[in-house]
């Protein structure tokens, strides 16, 4: 199957001019041998390459490029399939983007054989090249957020294990995971994640609840999360809890119940953030939005969870604007390697900034992901990189520190 893959990368700054030249020549030569065609734009510091060829050949080649220490920050911009090669009689064409004008390069690409058709696919390749040339010099993550300049340092938060009464005879338990402001070393909030009495996942917990009790169960169990919050919240920290949207739209008085639970636990509504998960379609929209209004009036914080996955990301945001948006971890995983995820997350962050909404990146697992996110101005994170959820407790949090 014929595939087209486009990436950009930065030349390793330690590489000498002669070695860079050698790298480019080797690549052109190998591509010819493997029947890989395309274009290579290079300005002495940044590469933009269109590779077309058999899928297995291109994938193997791209893996080698990713692993090649002469390339830094290899970011995949596109992988698509097509019925024909655009560059089949021009091989791998090299353009010197450092000395030529953008217009002349783009005009030449346009005029290459097999690229003159009116296929929309061609247009996309052309636009990617044109965007790359327009943004030359802006792709590098600022040096201060180079992952190699940071290490992690664990700091003990505190432990709740002196309160064994938290875990006896409950229909469920909760694990706690911090949402952190990485650069200031502050915990912004703690998310209470439900667990079965024996500590199993939310899915296992909910499986054991009869379907017609699910919403009531979800609501009732929040009382235990608030009790936990009462023990552990410090200073301005907040507690986040999750609710199925159906709890709010189908249980009359659900918000009153929540407010009573919060008060009974000795907490104030401002200390609580309600996270609405988007895992199910919201069937009774009007009742749902009425409940959200009631939550605003009661004074709790509101977050859209798993933003960008599930049913109603943008539609939900268009209708109501929460205090916080938590970007789904599927968009965060490997973000430093994916031009597609970078474009999406950057625009979510920009949109939230314009709307005054706080952004949290969920599921951060690596230093590289954190560095990339921090470099575009996201400051709140949740993920194994900082701390895993801990049953009825909080433990060490790993903080990034400069080397
Ligand atoms: P969520 O609200 O998006 O919570 C984050 C989930 O991601 C948690 O899974 C957490 O353990 C996991 N996670 C956090 N950081 C990382 C990471 O770096 N990598 C990976 N791979 N995973 C990470 P958990 O505890 O299994 O919860 C799953 C989902 O169950 C939650 O997703 C939430 O939607 C739901 N849930 C949890 N507690 C409740 C609850 O009380 N009520 C309702 N309705 N749903 C709940
Ligand atoms: Mn959540
Ligand atoms: Mn989530």
What's the 383 CA to ligand 3 centre distance in angstroms?
A: 10
d(CA 282, CA 301): 20
Which ligand is closest in space to the CA of residue 279? 1
Q: What is the pLDDT of residues 246-277, one digit of tens each?
A: 999 999 999 999 999 999 999 999 999 999 87
Longest dimension (CA), the chain: 75
For residue 384 and ligand 1, the question of a CB distance below 6 A is answered with yes
Q: Are strands 150-156 and 324-327 parallel, antiparallel or unpaired?
A: unpaired
CB 80 within 8 A of CB 35: no
**Ligand 1 near 228 CB (within 6 A):** no
232 lines ligand 1 (CB under 6 A): no
Determine the atom of ligand 1 nearest the C-alpha atom of 362.
15
Would you say how long the chain is, in residues? 403
Domains assigned to the chain:
2-140 (3.30.70.100), 147-402 (3.20.20.450)
- CA-nearest residue for atom 20, ligand 1, is 363
| Selection from 364, 380, 349, 378 nearest residue 237 by Cα | 380
- Tokens at residue 7, please? 């990436």
Q: Which atom of ligand 1 is nearest to the CA of 192?
A: 38
- How many Å lie between the centroid of ligand 2 and the Cα of residue 294? 20
What is the C-alpha separation between 28 and 23, in angstroms, rounded?
9
Residues near 210 by Cβ (< 8 Å), separated by ≥ 6? none
Token pair for 226: 């608030």
Cα–Cα dist 325/350, whole Å: 12
pLDDT tens-digit series, residues 221-234: 999 999 999 988 98
Residue of 152, 213, 242 best suited for mutating to test ligand 1, as the one with most atoms within 8 Å of CB: 242
Chain segment 189-209, per-residue pLDDT in tens: 999 999 999 899 999 999 999
pLDDT of res. 363: 98
Mutate to test the pocket of ligand 1, among 208, 275, 277 (most ligand atoms within 8 A of CB): 277
CB 385 within 8 A of CB 366: yes
Tokens of 233: 């919240």
In this prediction, the residues of the chain whose per-residue pLDDT falls under 50 are: none
d(C-alpha 38, C-alpha 52), whole Å: 6
Contact assessment for residue 244 and residue 215, using Cβ atoms and an 8 Å cutoff: yes
pLDDT of res. 111: 82
Q: Which pLDDT belongs to residue 251?
A: 95
């Amino acid at each position: 199957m014929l595939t087209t893959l486009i990436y950009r990368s930065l030349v390793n700054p330690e590489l000498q001019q002669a070695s860079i030249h050698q790298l480019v020549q080797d690549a052109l030569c190998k591509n010819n041998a493997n029947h890989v065609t395309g274009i290579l734009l290079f300005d002495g510091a940044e590469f933009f390459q269109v590779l077309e060829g058999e899928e297995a050949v291109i994938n193997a080649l791209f893996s080698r490029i990713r692993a090649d220490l002469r390339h830094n920050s290899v970011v995949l911009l596109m992988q698509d399939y097509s019925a024909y090669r655009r560059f089949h009689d021009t091989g791998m064409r090299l353009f010197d983007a450092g000395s030529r004008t953008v217009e002349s390069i783009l005009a030449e690409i346009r005029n290459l054989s097999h690229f003159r058709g009116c296929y929309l696919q061609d247009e996309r390749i052309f636009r990617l090249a044109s965007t790359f040339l327009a943004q030359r010099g802006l792709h590098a993550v600022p040096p201060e957020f180079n992952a190699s300049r940071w290490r992690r340092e664990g700091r003990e938060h505190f432990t709740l294990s002196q309160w064994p009464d938290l875990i006896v005879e409950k229909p469920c338990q909760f694990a706690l995971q911090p949402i952190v402001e990485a650069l200031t070393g502050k915990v912004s909030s703690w998310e209470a994640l439900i667990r079965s009495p024996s500590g199993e996942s939310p899915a296992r917990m909910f499986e054991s609840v009869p379907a017609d009790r699910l919403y009531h169960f979800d609501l009732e169990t929040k009382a235990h999360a608030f009790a936990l919050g009462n023990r552990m919240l410090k200073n301005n920290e907040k507690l986040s809890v999750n609710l199925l949207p159906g709890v709010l739209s189908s249980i009359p008085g659900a918000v009153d119940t929540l407010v009573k639970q919060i008060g009974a636990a000795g907490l104030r509504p401002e200390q609580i953030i309600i996270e609405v998960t988007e895992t199910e379609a919201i069937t009774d929209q009007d009742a749902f939005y009425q409940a959200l209004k009631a939550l605003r009036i009661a004074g709790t914080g509101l977050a859209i969870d798993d933003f960008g996955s599930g049913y109603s990301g943008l539609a939900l945001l268009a209708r109501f604007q929460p205090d916080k948006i938590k970007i789904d971890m599927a968009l965060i995983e490997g973000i430093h390697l994916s031009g597609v995820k970078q474009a999406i997350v950057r625009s979510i962050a920009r949109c939230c900034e314009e709307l005054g909404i706080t952004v949290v990146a969920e599921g951060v697992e690596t230093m590289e992901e954190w560095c990339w996110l921090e470099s575009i101005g996201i400051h709140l994170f949740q993920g194994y990189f900082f701390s895993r959820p801990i049953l009825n407790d909080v433990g060490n949090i790993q903080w990034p520190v400069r080397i």
